[in-house]
Amino acid sequence: MAEEKKLFKVTIDNITIEVEPGTSILNAARKIGGDVAPPAMCYYTKLKGSGGKCRTCLVEVAAGSTADPRPMPKLVASCRTNVMDGMIVKNITSEKVIDARNGVVEFLLINHPLDCPICDQAGECSLQDLSYEHGKEATRYEFKRRTFEKHDMGPFIQLHMTRCILCYRCVFAADQLTDKREHGILDRGDHSEIATYIQKSLDHDFIGNIIDVCPVGALTDRTFRFKNRVWFLKPEDAHRDCPKCNGKVTLWYRGDEVFRVTARKDQWGEVQDWICNECRFEKKKTADWVIEGPTKISRHSVISANHYVGMEVPKETLPDVMGGRKPKLLMNIHSVSEVNRPGIDLSKIEGPAHSTDFVEAKNGS
Amino acid sequence: MGRKLLLEKAHVEGIRTYEVYRREGGYRSVEKALKTMTPDQITDEVKKSGLRGRGGAGFPTGMKWSFIAKPEGVPRHLVCNADESEPGTFKDRYLMEFLPHLLIEGLIVSSFALGSNVTYIYIRGEYAWIVDILEQAIAEAKQNGWLGNNILGTGFNCEIYVHRGAGAYICGEETALLESLEGKRGNPRIKPPFPAVKGAWDRPTVVNNVETLAAVVPIINIGAEEYAKIGIGKSTGTKLISACGNINKPGVYEIDMTISVEDFIYSDEYCGGIPNGKKLKACIPGGSSVPILPANLLLKTVKGETRIMNYESLSDGGFAKGSMMGSGGFIVLDEDQCVVRNTLTLARFYRHESCGQCSPCREGTGWMEKILKNIEYGKGKSSDIDLLWDIQRKIEGNTICPLGDAAAWPVAAAIRHFRDEFEWHVANPLESQKRNFGLAHYADPLESVTA
Ligand SMILES: Cc1cc2nc3c(=O)[nH]c(=O)nc-3n(C[C@H](O)[C@H](O)[C@H](O)COP(=O)(O)O)c2cc1C
Ligand code: SF4
Ligand code: SF4
Ligand code: FES
C-alpha cells in the first residue's frame, strides 16, 4: 500500500476539515458546504485559468499556516489561493469579508440592466442569487447604465453584452473546447466587451457550452429564447449514444415537450460533462433520449417550485459555524414574542381578529 | 549641489552616439563586471548599494534579483519596464532620450548578473522616436562587441530587443507587461506565481524600471559602499524627479535624496519657485497614484520635521498624514488650482486605463468619475462625498493589481485633506462654476488644522 498522503488541516468559519495539498480555499469550503462556501461568479473548476476576477469569493485569512501563523494583509480570492496546513480562514464570520462582498455585489449591479423579468436566465442566474443574498433593496447609482447592442453569434447563441459581468468564463471555455480562437474581449475597463472578431459567428461543435458556463443571461440559447420560464420546466436527466460527446444531458420539459437541452450541472452550478451542439440544439424529442429520471434540484432554487421530486435539502452549516450556539437571527418568534400567540388559530376566529381575542387567549380561555 | 550619477553627462555634445559615450567613460562597468565579477557578486553589490526600485514600489533591487528561480535548463529573462505612463512621470523618457547607452550598459551588466541571454525593453508605444534611439544604441553596442555572442571573450551571450506597447497604462504593471510582451491582451496576472518564478513564457523573469537598471552602472563603477553613502537611511543613491505643474522650471532633476521638499520647490537649482508670485496649495509628490498633500503637510511632517525628498520622509505619517516617493513624478498645484477638478482628471484617467478584469476596479473607477464630474460641475450632493469615500474604500485592497489602489488613493487623499473644498462645491453650485475655492487654510501652519 502506498503511504498515506499528508493532508492539510484548514479551519474555515470555525469548522475544521482535512484536504489534499493544492486544494484552493474555495474548494475546501465547498467540501464543508452550505453557507461556508463563498459565492463564485468567475471561477469554474473545469476551466483552466479561470477565477480571481469577480472578487465575490474574497475571504479573510486570519492565520496563514501553522508554520507562519501571520494573517494575510488583504482579503484573498479564495478560488485562487491554496490552503496551507493550519490555515484559518474567515468567510461569513468576517465582517471585512461581508463588507467587501457587499461592495463587489453592488459594483456588479450598478451597470446591470436588472431586466430579470424579460431575461431567460432568471431563475437560474448566479447574479440573481448573489443579489438576493448580498444586495441592497435600493441602488446608490444614479447614472445611466452602460448598454450594448445585442448580437447573434451564429444560429444558436445570442450575446446580450449589457448583462455580462465579464467573468471571462466563456472566453476560457471557447479557448479550451475549440481549436481556434474566435472570441475574446475587446477594449478595456468599463467599456470592454465580449466579442467575436467583427461579429463572426461561432460554429464549433462544442461552442454551445459557453451558454452553460455564463453565470448570467448574457449568452442565451437562441433555440430556447423566450419560449418558457425555467421554473415552469421540469428537468429530467437523460442520455443518448452520441459519437461526439458522452451524451449525458438534462432535458427541460413542459408537459411532453422538450423545451431545451443543457449539460448536467453539479450543486455549484458547474457543468459536469461538456455536451456537443447536436445534443444541445438538435435533439429535442423524447424519442432521441433514454430518460433516467428527475434531476436533483436544490430546494432553494425556484426551479424546485413546481415539482417536489428530486429535491435536495441544502446542507445546514450554521450551527457548526456558531460552535453549537443557536443563531439569534433564527429565533422562534412564537417563544419570544408577546404579540404572537401560537395557541390562537387566526383562521378559526370569526371575522377580523381583535386585540381582545389575544387577551382572552392569554387569560387562558 | 547634489552629486549626479546618472545625468552627469546628459548634456555632453553627441553623448547619444557610441563614440562620445565611450570616450566619456561609457561601458566601463561592463568591462569591470564581466571580467572581474561573478553574477552573484554583482547581485551582492546591488544589494549592498541599497538600491530600491525606481518604478514606484521602491522594492530593494538586489533582493528582487536574488529571488529569481534558477531551474536547470530553463532560460531566464530580464525585462526593462519603459512603459512610463503614470501622469506626472517623465524621467525615463529623458534618460532614454539623452543617454540611451547608459540604459543599454546597465542592461548588459544586469543581464549578466541574472543570466538573461535575451533581454527586453518594453517601451510605451507613444515613445515611438525613442525606440529608434534605443535601437540605434543597441546596434552600435553590438558592432562594438558589447552585445551578441561571447561578449568580451567571457562566453556570455546577450541580445536586447525593444518591444513597443500599444498605449495602455496598465501594461506598466509588471505582469500585464509580460502578457503584452507575449503578444496577449495586457491583463495583469493573478499572483502567485510571481515573475521571478514564472514570468515571460513561464520562465523566471525580473522586471525592473529604466532608472533602476541605469543606476546599476554607477553602482558597479564607484562600488556599492560609495553609492550607499549618498542619501539618508534606506534612500540611497540618487533619484530622478520629473517636476511639473505650477513651477518656474519644470523638468527632470537628479537629486541625492537629502534635499528638503521646500528647497526642491523654491531653489533656483531645481523647480525655481512658483510663477507669478502665487502660493503653494498642494502637491502630488510621486506621480498621480500617490496621495495628494496640502502645503502645510507637504513641507513639514506631522511631527514638525522638515520633509525631505526621499522614501522615508515622504511617507512619514502614513497615508493619513503623508504620501509616497512613488515614481518620482512631482506635481505642484498653486492657489489657483481646484482639487476637485484635479481629482476628477485623475479619476477619469484611472477609469480609462482600468483593464476591466476585476469588478471593483472596472465598475468603481467609472462610478467615482461620474460622481466627481457632478461635484465639479455644480451638480453634486453632500451625500456624494461620503459615497465617494465608500466607493474608494471598497476598491482599495480588493483588486487583482495595484491599479485599483492607485485609483482609490488619490480620491481618498483628496477627500481626507480637502473635504471642505468638496463641500464648498456642493454648497455653492453656481459660485463654484465661476471661481476657485483658492488657498483657504491649506498652507496655514499645522497646529491650526483641525484633525
Ligand atoms: C498600473 C501600474 C502601472 C505601472 N507602470 C509602471 C511603469 O510605467 N514603469 C515602471 O517602471 N513601473 C511601473 N509599474 C510598477 C511595476 O509593476 C513594477 O513594480 C516595476 O516595473 C518594478 O521595477 P522596479 O523594481 O525597478 O521599480 C506600474 C505598476 C502598476 C500597478
Ligand atoms: S458573456 Fe457570460 S460567460 Fe462570457 S464573460 Fe460575460 S458573463 Fe461571463
Ligand atoms: S485592479 Fe483594475 S487594472 Fe488591475 S486587474 Fe483589476 S481591473 Fe485590471
Ligand atoms: S470566483 Fe473567485 S474571484 Fe471570482
| Closest Cα in chain B to A110 | B363
> What band does A208 get if pLDDT is binned at 50, 70 and 90?
very high
**Residue A266 pLDDT > 90:** yes
| Closest Cα in chain B to A75 | B398
Count how many pairs of residues, chain A against chain B, have C-beta atoms within 8 Å: 87
Residues constituting chain B: 451
Average confidence score pLDDT of chain A = 88
Of B229, B245, B278, the position where a domain reaches its end is B229
CB contact under 8 A, B366 and A190: yes
> What band does A130 get if pLDDT is binned at 50, 70 and 90?
very high
- Residue B77 cell numbers, joined: 529573462
Share of chain A above pLDDT 70, in %: 86
Query: Are residue A238 and residue A222 in the same domain, yes or no?
Result: no
The pLDDT of residue A281: 96
**Residue B282 pLDDT > 80:** yes
> For ligand 1, atom 24, which residue shows the shortest CA distance?
B53
Total domains present in chain B = 3
**Residue B450 pLDDT > 50:** no
Query: Are residue A356 and residue A259 in the same domain, yes or no?
Result: no
Among A45-54, A298-307, B68-77, B325-334, name the one with the lowest average pLDDT.
A298-307
Of B198, B229, B260, the position where a domain reaches its end is B229
> For ligand 3, atom 8, which residue shows the shortest CA distance?
B355
Query: Are residue A37 and residue A95 in the same domain, yes or no?
Result: yes
Decide if B370 is inside a domain: yes
**Residue A33 pLDDT > 90:** yes
Q: Which residue has the cell 388559530?
A: A345
**Residue A150 pLDDT > 50:** yes
Which residue from A146, A170, A172, A213 has its CB within 8 A of the most atoms of ligand 2, so it is best to mutate?
A170
Number of neighbours of residue B30 by Cβ within 10 angstroms: 25
Ligand 2 site, residue A157, Cβ cutoff 6 A? no
Decide if A258 is inside a domain: yes
**Residue B252 pLDDT > 50:** yes
Average pLDDT for residues B283-307, to the nearest whole number?
96
| Cβ neighbours of residue B99 closer than 8 Å, sequence gap 6 or more | B6, B7, B9, B10, B15, B16, B21, B214
The pLDDT of residue A252: 95
Work out which ligand 2 atom sits closest to the CA atom of A171: 4
CA of B355 to nearest chain A CA: how many angstroms apart?
5
Share of chain B above pLDDT 90, in %: 98
Average confidence score pLDDT of chain B = 96
List the CATH number of the domain containing B118.
3.40.50.11540
Query: Are residue B246 and residue B270 in the same domain, yes or no?
Result: yes
The pLDDT of residue A332: 61
Decide if A134 is inside a domain: no
Query: Are residue A163 and residue A247 in the same domain, yes or no?
Result: no
Give the structural domain span for B193: 18-229
Alpha helices in chain A (DSSP H): 25-32, 95-110, 126-134, 169-177, 209-213, 277, 318-321, 333-336, 355-362
Query: Are residue A168 and residue A208 in the same domain, yes or no?
Result: yes
Query: Are residue B326 and residue B385 in the same domain, yes or no?
Result: no
The pLDDT of residue B198: 97
Q: Which residues of B273-296 are buried (b: 16+ CB within 10 A; e: fewer)?
A: bbeeeeebbbbbbbbbbbbbbbbb
CB contact under 8 A, B185 and A185: yes
Decide if B247 is inside a domain: yes
What's the whole-model pTM score?
0.91
- Residue A96 cell numbers, joined: 471585512
**Residue A219 pLDDT > 90:** yes
> How does pLDDT run across A166-184, given as a tens digit for each residue?
999 999 999 999 887 778 9
> What band does A111 get if pLDDT is binned at 50, 70 and 90?
very high
Decide if B442 is inside a domain: no
What is the distance in A from the centroid of ligand 4 to the CA of A76? 10
What is the distance in A from the centroid of ligand 4 to the CA of A26? 9
A253 pairs with which residues across the strands? A234, A258
> What band does A364 get if pLDDT is binned at 50, 70 and 90?
very low
Q: Which residues of A182-205 are buried (b: 16+ CB within 10 A; e: fewer)?
A: bbbbeebbbebbbbbeeeeebebe
**Residue A330 pLDDT > 60:** no
> For ligand 1, atom 8, which residue shows the shortest CA distance?
B84
**Residue B131 pLDDT > 80:** yes
Decide if A64 is inside a domain: yes
> What band does B178 get if pLDDT is binned at 50, 70 and 90?
very high
Give the structural domain span for A304: 228-328
List the CATH number of the domain containing B346.
1.20.1440.230
> How does pLDDT run across B363-414, given as a tens digit for each residue?
999 999 999 999 999 999 999 999 999 999 999 999 999 999 999 999 999 9
The pLDDT of residue B449: 45
Query: Are residue A301 and residue A337 in the same domain, yes or no?
Result: no
> How does pLDDT run across A60-76, given as a tens digit for each residue?
999 999 999 999 999 99
Indicate the residue of B185, B360, B370 with minimum beta-carbon distance to A143.
B370
Please indicate if any CB of chain A lies within 8 Å of the CB of B387. Answer: yes
| Closest Cα in chain B to A82 | B192
ipTM: 0.93
Total domains present in chain A = 4
Query: Are residue A14 and residue A93 in the same domain, yes or no?
Result: yes
The pLDDT of residue A3: 61
Decide if A272 is inside a domain: yes
d(CA B145, CA A154): 57
Query: Are residue B117 and residue B40 in the same domain, yes or no?
Result: yes
Average pLDDT for residues B314-325, to the nearest whole number?
95
What is the distance in A from the centroid of ligand 2 to the CA of B347? 27
**Residue A4 pLDDT > 80:** no
Residues with CB under 6 A from ligand 4: A 40-43, 51-57, 77, 79
Average pLDDT for residues A328-343, to the nearest whole number?
61
> What band does A342 get if pLDDT is binned at 50, 70 and 90?
low
> What band does B451 get if pLDDT is binned at 50, 70 and 90?
very low
| Closest Cα in chain A to B358 | A53
Query: Are residue A122 and residue A217 in the same domain, yes or no?
Result: yes
Query: Are residue A36 and residue A73 in the same domain, yes or no?
Result: yes
List the CATH number of the domain containing A192.
3.30.70.20
> What band does A303 get if pLDDT is binned at 50, 70 and 90?
confident
DSSP assignment of B19-51 equals HHHHHTTTTHHHHHHHHH--HHHHHHHHHHHT-
> How does pLDDT run across B25-49, given as a tens digit for each residue?
999 999 999 999 999 999 999 999 9
**Residue A324 pLDDT > 80:** no
- HSE at residue A202, side-chain half, CA atoms within 13 A, is 35
Of B211, B229, B247, the position where a domain reaches its end is B229
Decide if A345 is inside a domain: yes
The pLDDT of residue A305: 64
Strands B280-284 and B239-245 turn out to be: unpaired
Please indicate if any CB of chain A lies within 8 Å of the CB of B208. Answer: no
List the CATH number of the domain containing B262.
3.10.20.600
Of A189, A207, A226, the position where a domain reaches its end is A226
Query: Are residue B124 and residue B177 in the same domain, yes or no?
Result: yes
CA of B350 to nearest chain A CA: how many angstroms apart?
9
The pLDDT of residue A179: 80
Work out which ligand 4 atom sits closest to the CA atom of A53: 3
Query: Are residue A18 and residue A101 in the same domain, yes or no?
Result: yes
CB contact under 8 A, A189 and B370: no
Query: Are residue B189 and residue B311 in the same domain, yes or no?
Result: no
The pLDDT of residue B133: 98
CB contact under 8 A, B359 and A189: no
The pLDDT of residue A119: 94
Distance from the Cα of residue B318 to its chain's centroid = 19
> What values do phi and psi take at A290, rounded to 5?
-100, 115
Decide if B13 is inside a domain: no
- Residue A69 cell numbers, joined: 501563523
CB contact under 8 A, A108 and B394: no
Indicate the residue of B185, B362, B400 with minimum beta-carbon distance to A189.
B362
